[in-house]
Amino acid sequence: MNRLLTLTKGAVLFLLLSASLTLFAQKNGIPPETYTAAAIPDSMKKGADFVTRYYSMEMMVKQPSKAVIRCHSIKTILNEKAENEAVIAVGYDKKFSSVSSMEMTVYDASGKMIKRYKKGDMYDHSAVDNISIITDDRVLYASHDITSYPVTVEQVYEKSLNSFLDLGEWQIGEKKESVQFGRCKISVNPSVGFRYKVKNIDLPPKRSTEDGMDVYLWEVKDLKPVRTEDDCPNWCILPHISFATNQIECDGVPGDMSSWKGFGLWQQALNKNVSSLSPKREEEIRQMVSSLPTDKDKAKFLYEYLQKNMRYVSIQLGIGGLKPFPATFVDEKKYGDCKALANYMYTLLKTVGIPSYYTLIRAGENEEPADPDFVNDPFNHIVLCIPFKNDTTWLECTSNTKPFGKLGPFTENRYGLLVTEDGGKLVRTPGSKMEDHIFDSETNVTIAEDGTARAKVVIKSSGEYRDLFMALSASKTDDQKKYLINYLNLRQPDIFELPPASDKDGIKEVTLDLTYEALSDMKAGDKYFYRPRIFDLFKATVPVMEKRKNDFYFSHPLQKKNVTSITIPADYEVETLPGEINLNFKYGQYQAKYSYDREKHEVKSVSTFSLSKHIIPAAQYTEMQKFMDEVSKSLNKKLVIKKKA
């Protein structure tokens, strides 16, 4: 029941139901060869790390708040890359769900049983998600240590749900998985209004009626591993089907999920009576902003007040996984999760007469966004929207460092559900531009007569680069140095100083003081070969592909700049200076210019790499691949200096 920062509500209701949801059925309907590895056709093993021999899930939905899932799967694990398939884990939370039966059996290659794990053998512990410090969610769990491959694992369990917002999804096939047989059968009371959405596969259901229930049946046979492509999210490629009902009842709160408006009305009802402070505290808040001239100035002040005084802590208890803790709780305790902090900020703004909207959103870099045409609950995070006239402003209330009005790749450029007085409204959050993610660097290098060198690098960063360096600054100094050497591809310095640097107005500064006993890449006679920059501005490459099928995803658009000045010894001169470079493709550009001032004994380079769009259409992949190759090659050009005659 949790709407966490990085875990979906569906994941909580159906922990690991993705590739192992199957019918809790008697074995006499399953052929004996299903348990033997030798019976798998070679064509099904090609490109696979495991083969799903039998895969079925049956769900019965009798009421808007009642569902039973019966599952049974048989998988043959071919190698250690799929060892996690020998794990069974079923989540529950006592109040909203229960596991009535659960079993895992392991067989050797010939089908002989090695070990059986019954429900009493399972570990029962808190479903730790590395985010929440306390949660009602629990997990029944068992893991088998595999000693030889192939091995076949059979899993069976039954789970009852007492509340839900949607019915999760069937993940039909994972990467490196073949499916010999899979089925999904859902029986629903017609009054709840069942809906589904099929993605990345053409698979209409067979429909029928049984005992007054509407029945939907999907079956697949002999599915080969899905061909995936690097740098494309799984949701764009892997086949899956999402399920939902029109009528819901979650913890006794009924709702209509047939429209986004209805979903918003349900959330509005859930949030009732959590958005107020004491009269005394409200007057204190109003006094804090009384001297500020505009609503935007007031909102900025209150957001920064939130950042300075409150901290993010995830606590998921009961329906608290969906309902925010009261604003009074946050005001007193000085902490809260994404729901509580967004609601607190909403309350602060309401107190000073500024309207805002509590907004449900799917968070995560390049995560699957909400589908406007399919109403369900894919959301796992809350942000806040302030509808200033001609200047809608978005706030990430869990961050103590995010600039006012900036979201970033975690929640940008996707649909969010605004909870308004009239219900839910699905709106798109703004996308960032390359100017929002700046890596601006200046380097000064001085080379001595004996080849030793000193360098000072100053990096000024914004957007995701700022977030990176802000997070890095919390690490130990030695760890920071190791990371920066690797991240920037710096030549290992003999002395590395990392003095404190400022963070002001959304710009984080990082300063590196480096000393080298020898900075040149090589020496030949009286000639020295140097990199014209001491770190790589951008050196990523991608493989050649005959025909890319899916779009290519970067993390975000960006712009990286560098100015490097290298002072060479007075009795040396430049023999070879890299030539000017100007490379372009539809969504990117790289430029580099070099100059040599003989009087100052100074070599100067000015380079810029920019990416105007972070999702590159498949049709432009080859153009991008050639561009990135040329950029990488250009970075290998050397500056050659030699002793004067």
pLDDT in tens, 346-384: 999 999 999 999 999 999 999 999 999 999 999 999 999
- Give the model's pLDDT for residue 91: 81
Mean per-residue pLDDT over the chain, rounded? 91
Cα-trace Rg, the chain? 29
Structure tokens that stand for 37 in this block = 């590895």
- Give the model's pLDDT for residue 129: 46
Do 385 and 335 meet the contact criterion of CB atoms below 8 Å apart?
Answer: no
The whole-model pTM stands at 0.88
- Give the model's pLDDT for residue 319: 53
- Give the model's pLDDT for residue 132: 44
Ordered DSSP codes for 220-284: EEEEPPP---TTS-GGGTS-EEEEEESEEEETTEEEE-SSHHHHHHHHHHHTTT-S---HHHHHH
- Give the model's pLDDT for residue 135: 55
Work out the pLDDT band at 17, boundaries 50, 70, 90.
very low
Tens digits of per-residue pLDDT, 435-447?
Answer: 999 999 999 999 9
The candidate with the shortest Cα–Cα distance to 189, out of 240, 249, 252, is 249
Q: How far lies 88's CA from each of 48, 136, 236, 363, in Å? A: 20, 20, 27, 27
- Give the model's pLDDT for residue 182: 96
Tens digits of per-residue pLDDT, 283-328?
Answer: 999 999 999 999 999 999 999 999 999 999 876 554 547 889 999 9
Three-class SS state of 288: helix
Tens digits of per-residue pLDDT, 582-598?
Answer: 999 999 999 999 999 99
- For the segment 136-164, the average pLDDT, to the nearest whole number, is 90
Q: Angle of helix 338-351 relative to helix 295-309, nearest 10 degrees?
A: 140
Distance CA 76, CA 57 (A): 18
Tens digits of per-residue pLDDT, 49-73?
Answer: 999 999 999 999 999 989 999 999 9
Work out the pLDDT band at 138, boundaries 50, 70, 90.
confident
- For the segment 176-187, the average pLDDT, to the nearest whole number, is 96
Tens digits of per-residue pLDDT, 383-401?
Answer: 999 999 889 999 999 999 9
Distance CA 479, CA 485 (A): 10
Cis peptide before 150 (omega within 30 of 0): yes
Q: String of b and e for 423-461 (b: at least 16 CB within 10 Å)?
A: bbbbeebebbebebbbbbbebebbbeeeeebbbebebbb
pLDDT at residue 94 greater than cutoff 80: no
